Amino acid sequence: MKLKNDFFNRDALLVGKELIGQYLINDSNEGKVVGRIVETESYCGTDDLASHASKDKSKRSKPMFGPAGHFYIYLNYGIFYMTNIVCDRVDYPAAILLRAVEIIEGQGIAAKRLRQSKFVKENKFLATGPGKLSIAFDISKSENDLDITKSADFYFEKNPKSILKSDIIKATRVGVDYAKHCKEYPWRFYLCNNEYVSKQQKSIG
DNA sequence: ACATGGATTCGCT
DNA sequence: GCGAATCCATGTT
């Protein structure tokens, strides 16, 4: 069952947590790539100094202020695209960064895409980090602001098998040392003992 | 116009 | 734990 607007149109921390275990799907003409989400980070509000929206609405962060269920895609380090899914109500900036998935279908397609990026090493870890995830799912700036509740190419599907609450680890977000007190926020979620979670794992219980 | 720096990844120490 | 690769968006002249 596809996840619809009502799933995403809620508090970003709740959505970030509940996205763990759900499926991200890219249905392309090359074939289908399916990933089980194992790591996310929430960014929300203008008070969150780690969020692009903290400097108020700019041309870049505009999708974060729009309706839930749209992609927010941007280029980082001049190299990697970051894939976010907008949540919560219109005019309240909130999004979930998809940091890692375990690819369970279409590994060959994902591997082929990754091979074309000279910054990614080829191995079985196809989407263990936000940059690699975007390449594996062929997500780039043309997908920015795409409504994934309407798109036939990109969508989320509910995993009928739910994840134990105790298997979801809370942690601090990665790469936001500049964000003053906000860098301590436990707004990162990942699946306990899963080898496809990206490497940095400072759990805070 | 120009300067700045980053929601990363990999490889080496 | 640290540095390099790399380039766009943003903020500042």
CA distance A173 to A33: 26
Q: Would you place residue A118 in the very low, low, confident or very high pLDDT band (cuts 50, 70, 90)?
A: confident
CA at A55, C1' at B13: how many angstroms apart?
38
Q: Which residue is nearest to nucleotide C4 (CA to C1')?
A: A119
Q: Is the pLDDT of residue A154 over 70?
A: yes
pLDDT over 90 (residue A57): no
Q: Which nucleotides of B are covered by protein (CB under 7 A)?
A: 5-11
Q: 3-class DSSP state for residue A44?
A: strand
Percent of the residues in chain A that have a pLDDT greater than 90, as a whole number: 88
Q: Which nucleotide is nearest to A42 (CA to C1')?
A: B7
The predicted pLDDT at position A122 comes to 85
Q: What are phi and psi of A108, to 5 degrees?
A: -65, -40
Residue A200 pLDDT exceeds 80: no
For residue A23, what is the enclosing H or E element?
strand A23-28
Model confidence band, residue A199 (pLDDT cutoffs 50, 70, 90): confident
Give the dihedral sign, CA A189/A89/A67/A142: negative
Nucleotide closest to A75 measured between CA and C1': C8
> What is the distance in angstroms measured between the alpha-carbon CA of A59 and the sugar C1' of C5?
26
Coil vs helix vs strand at A45: coil
User: In the predicted model, what is the mean pLDDT of residues A140-145?
Assistant: 95
| pLDDT one-digit tens code per residue, A158-196 | 999 989 999 999 999 999 999 999 999 999 999 999 999
User: Is the model more confident about A202 or about A87?
Assistant: A87
Distance of CA A114 to the CA centre of its chain: 18
